[in-house]
Amino acid sequence: MKRKFTFILAFLLASAYLFSQTIVSTDPENKNVVLEEFTGIHCVFCPDGHAIAQAIYDAHPDDVVLMNIHQGSYAVPSGSEPDFRTPWGNAIAGQTGLLGYPAGTVNRHLFSGWSQGSGTAMNRNYWTSASNQIMAAPSYLNVGVESIIVTSTRQLVVQVEVYYTDNSPLPTNYLNVAILQNNILGPQTGGNAGNNYVHKHMLRHLLTGQWGVEINETTTGSLYSGTFTYEIPEDYTGVDVILENLDIVAFVTESHQEIVSGQKGTLTTMESNDYDAAILNAYYPQTACSGTMSPIVKIKNYGVNNLTSLNFEYSINGGTTSTYSWTGDLTQNEITLVNLPEISYDVTTENTLSITCGQPDGQTDQLPQNDLFNSSFDQSQYYPVTGYFGVQTLGDPQDITWSIVGDNGAVVVEGGPYITSGFHLEAFTFPSDGCYTLTLNDASGMGLSGGFYIITDDATNVLWTGPAFTDMSIAGLSYDSQVGLDENFSTEDVSIYPNPLVNQASINFDLNSASKANIAVFDLLGKQVAQVYVGTLNAGNQSIKLNAESLKKGVYFVKINLNNQTFTKKIVISQ
């Protein structure tokens, strides 16, 4: 299952009037520094690290990005102390090999002889020299960032452009967009300011998730352009978010490690608009098999005037565009769900749903960047006749309900609400061939509070792991008793070479007839970390490319489902 994004990502063809047409330089430039400092309020020597990092920035304000990440034991608050930690910090620190605090990475680059241990983390006395080396090195890409905050509604709109002045050594790079906050008063051991130490460059949120979003065109002359919209909360972990103290930065990485370059963007503030409708989210099958869909769209009125009408256009895979005119009455900041009429399409291995809204109350939308929703979803694999649906709830189990329903509306199996947290497993049997719909609801809107949900076969082999969601997830499940009856496999019939591997390998096997296939990579905890292939394979020799460039060094399992038979092969990534 490909990762789904809860933010809006779009090309800026229709909204360039709020931004300059080109915000990134197309001339070759040297790299900019992205210094990630791992710090904490109980770290005695961290203020010295803050001062060193600030001096690097002050000497090169246009070429340096500072990002202070409160993480580790020194960042744990005591009593009524504020919590400056984020959900992102541990994973970033976990790949650095840091041994003490303060620690810092400069562009996540490994500087030989300067590591605290064997990774990219360095003591503060090396940060200046490492930064000078980075700024002296040529970059094959430039990053441009411009942002707008609508102060009354706390909307953030970020435009990012990445221009490639040379070829990237990798076919895929990753764009990261972070929200930082300055001038946060709080405690700091060793800072000689008590509880009034001024914390700066503090990481508050990653708009693009833990490791960023993919950039797939990475050759000379390629231009990536995208918009991200986000409603800034009043606080994170009880610490107020002051809009005028925010910085928005963007940087591009190779895999999850090496940062190529980054940039702190310009930030403009504006007041409310009279007419501003936004698409917050859409509910649709995360996997599909029926060829029809009725998307549900969550909209919000950010405009001062009541929203009484709104036009929608939507399509799948670039096919025929359907339209719908909604009427209602939403006051400013009010939210509602809109059920769009059913649309038909041809299900392919990977599908794209596009929805736009416009003409609020018949007027021009004054902030069109939040009018667009784009996301991809996969074709359903074929499931065996019997299996299990499992859901792990970490909090609020009473809010979790789910069901698997047939095309005729008959419920095959259902579960929840639950009394206790933990892992809940329910068996199911498909009564006949067809497409079934799994719907999972979390009334708290917390998406299982960090839990997960899976489908296994009757031997408990994991066949599918559901994507992240907030309040509702939908998936189409295919069952066809006639698929691949003449095919018979064993684990020995499948080979993966090379293994151990660095970046890529080939999965090889032979098929006697056309077969439904689902191939995915799982980590040691059973979490799906990569989707290799889902769809139909023709008869004959198969050589499926396994791209492991985004995976860290370690042991993984490749699960191969062919015609409802599942095989597991261990791989070792030695990069």
What CATH number did the domain enclosing 535 receive? 2.60.40.3080
The answer to whether 8 and 370 are in contact (CB under 8 A) is yes
The mean per-residue pLDDT over the stretch 516-540 comes to: 80
- The pLDDT value recorded for residue 486 is 43
Sign of torsion over alpha carbons 194, 196, 201, 202: positive
- The pLDDT value recorded for residue 210 is 92
Residues 6+ apart with CB under 8 A from 537: 511, 514, 515, 516, 517
Nearest to 297 by CA among 1, 8, 2, 3: 8
Co-location of 433 and 289 in the same domain: no
Any domain includes 70: yes
Provide the H-helix boundaries in 153-237. none
Secondary structure class of 414 (helix, strand, coil): strand
Q: Which residue has the higher pLDDT, 550 or 452?
A: 452
Co-location of 308 and 174 in the same domain: no
Give the span between the Cα atoms of 251 and 7, in whole angstroms. 18
Co-location of 315 and 352 in the same domain: yes
Look at 264-268, 310-314, 346-350, 454-458 and tell me which has the smallest mean pLDDT: 346-350
- The pLDDT value recorded for residue 534 is 81
Predicted confidence band at 101 (pLDDT cuts at 50, 70, 90)? very high
Q: Which one of 479, 514, 540 terminates a domain?
A: 479
pLDDT single digits (tens) 211-223: 999 999 999 999 9
Any domain includes 158: no
- The pLDDT value recorded for residue 15 is 36
- The pLDDT value recorded for residue 520 is 87
Whole-model pTM: value is 0.72
Co-location of 28 and 103 in the same domain: yes
pLDDT single digits (tens) 480-495: 765 544 445 666 788 9
Distance of CA 368 to the CA centre of its chain: 23
Q: Report the first-to-last Cα separation within the chain, whole angstroms.
A: 24
Nearest to 147 by CA among 44, 26, 20: 20
Co-location of 362 and 467 in the same domain: no
- The pLDDT value recorded for residue 564 is 64
Predicted confidence band at 230 (pLDDT cuts at 50, 70, 90)? very high
Nearest to 508 by CA among 496, 490, 491, 520: 496
Burial (CB count within 10 angstroms: exposed 0-12, middle 13-18, buried 19+), residue 327:
exposed
Give the span between the Cα atoms of 100 and 95, in whole angstroms. 14
Give the span between the Cα atoms of 348 and 364, in whole angstroms. 35
The mean per-residue pLDDT over the stretch 94-122 comes to: 96
Predicted confidence band at 180 (pLDDT cuts at 50, 70, 90)? very high
Predicted confidence band at 462 (pLDDT cuts at 50, 70, 90)? confident
Co-location of 495 and 475 in the same domain: no
Co-location of 128 and 187 in the same domain: yes
For 447, phi then psi, to 5°, come to 60, 55
- The pLDDT value recorded for residue 24 is 95
The answer to whether 130 and 122 are in contact (CB under 8 A) is yes
The mean per-residue pLDDT over the stretch 52-76 comes to: 97
Residue 181, pLDDT above cutoff 90: yes
Residue 70, pLDDT above cutoff 70: yes
- The pLDDT value recorded for residue 348 is 84
* Residue 330 DSSP code: E
pLDDT single digits (tens) 367-394: 998 999 999 898 888 888 899 999 999 8
Q: Which one of 447, 479, 511 terminates a domain?
A: 479
Secondary structure class of 429 (helix, strand, coil): strand
Co-location of 449 and 497 in the same domain: no
pLDDT single digits (tens) 250-306: 999 998 889 999 999 999 998 889 999 999 999 999 999 988 999 999 999 999 999
Return the axis-axis angle of helices 127-135 and 46-59, rounded to nearest 10°.
Answer: 30
Predicted confidence band at 336 (pLDDT cuts at 50, 70, 90)? very high
Instruction: Give me the residue label for tokens 């967009």.
Output: 177
* Residue 78 DSSP code: -
Co-location of 357 and 496 in the same domain: no
SS (H, E, C) 356-407: EEECHHHCCCCCHHHCEEEEEEEECCECCCEEEEEEEECCCHHHEEEEEECC
Any domain includes 271: no
Q: Which one of 264, 285, 313 terminates a domain?
A: 264
Predicted confidence band at 552 (pLDDT cuts at 50, 70, 90)? confident
Any domain includes 300: yes
Co-location of 328 and 398 in the same domain: no
Q: Which residue has the higher pLDDT, 21 or 234?
A: 234
Look at 40-44, 229-233, 531-535 and tell me which has the smallest mean pLDDT: 531-535
Any domain includes 4: no
Residue 537, pLDDT above cutoff 90: no
- R_g of the chain computed on alpha carbons: 25
Co-location of 390 and 366 in the same domain: no
Co-location of 449 and 403 in the same domain: yes
Predicted confidence band at 187 (pLDDT cuts at 50, 70, 90)? very high
Any domain includes 157: no
Give the span between the Cα atoms of 65 and 36, in whole angstroms. 8
Any domain includes 320: yes
- The pLDDT value recorded for residue 441 is 95
Instruction: State the residue range of the domain holding 82.
Output: 16-146+169-223+232-264
Please state, for a pLDDT cut of 90, what percent of the chain lies above it.
70
- The pLDDT value recorded for residue 458 is 82
Nearest to 158 by CA among 298, 268, 67, 236: 268
- Computed over every residue of the chain, the mean pLDDT equals 90
pLDDT single digits (tens) 2-24: 333 333 333 333 333 344 457 99
Number of domains in the chain: 4
The mean per-residue pLDDT over the stretch 415-433 comes to: 94
The mean per-residue pLDDT over the stretch 82-101 comes to: 95
- The pLDDT value recorded for residue 482 is 54
Secondary structure class of 288 (helix, strand, coil): strand
Give the span between the Cα atoms of 472 and 448, in whole angstroms. 10
Any domain includes 9: no
